[in-house]
Amino acid sequence: AQSVTQPDIHITVSEGASLELRCNYSYGATPYLFWYVQSPGQGLQLLLKYFSGDTLVQGIKGFEAEFKRSQSSFNLRKPSVHWSDAAEYFCAVGAETMDSNYQLIWGAGTKLIIKP
Amino acid sequence: DSGVTQTPKHLITATGQRVTLRCSPRSGDLSVYWYQQSLDQGLQFLIQYYNGEERAKGNILERFSAQQFPDLHSELNLSSLELGDSALYFCASSGGLGELFFGEGSRLTVL
């Protein structure tokens, strides 16, 4: 069955430090991969997506993610975090179901805390 | 702005009551998804509609129902409300195989 694992429930990073949020997935075919961000009290906003091609994808707000097929991973990175990056981050896999429907399979989310 | 509109943004009601949440998808998107997000359960998929037809069901309680109208807007009906139904309810729309676009959510508080 398809699944998405975000192993870190919380991550604390100092402002200006680099960030990597982990995401592992289980899916039989080449997946569509997404990272979304949710600021407190807000909806989910798409940060970036991978469908095919270059395995390093650039997103909004200075984020990037790398698709590694051999590791079934799609980790999110940012070289230098800002206090405004404090939010919850969700990884998702787009999967076609057995009845030809399309669903996003979601990770549990990682809450990013920024230390001043 | 995702192009997905949800109303109301906030709703406070009492146990046992019934509420309706409304969602207008992005122009041209045929799929509408409903999610519930609470502190202890995370983001839970409830139900999906595609062009007026129910397409997939997730963890949706029998007290909850939804529909999608010919103009593609959708409504989520929550009845016999319990304290535990307090949550953020999100609607998202999609045009096909790709990303979902989320509304800002409806925050339901059941007292």
Q: Tell me the mean pLDDT in the region B34-51.
A: 90
pLDDT in tens, A47-82: 999 998 899 999 999 999 999 999 999 999 999 999
CA distance B96 to chain A (A): 8
* Band (A96; pLDDT cuts 50, 70, 90): confident
Residue of B nearest to A110 (CA): B42
CA-CA-CA-CA torsion sign (B94, B95, B96, B101): negative
A109 touches chain B (CB under 8 A): yes
Helix (H) or strand (E) holding A87: strand A87-96
Q: Tell me the mean pLDDT in the region B65-76.
A: 97
Compute the distance between CA of residue B75 and CA of residue B78 in angstroms, rounded to an integer. 10
Compute the distance between CA of residue A17 and CA of residue A111 in angstroms, rounded to an integer. 16
3-state secondary structure of A80: coil
pLDDT on residue B75:
98
Measured CA angle at A60 (ends A55, A63), to 5 deg: 55
User: Which of A41, A49, A101 is facing B99, going by the closest CB pair?
Assistant: A49
- In this complex, do A106 and B45 lie within 8 Å of one another by their Cβ atoms? yes
Closest CA to B25 of B59, B60, B70: B70
| % of chain B residues with pLDDT over 70 | 99
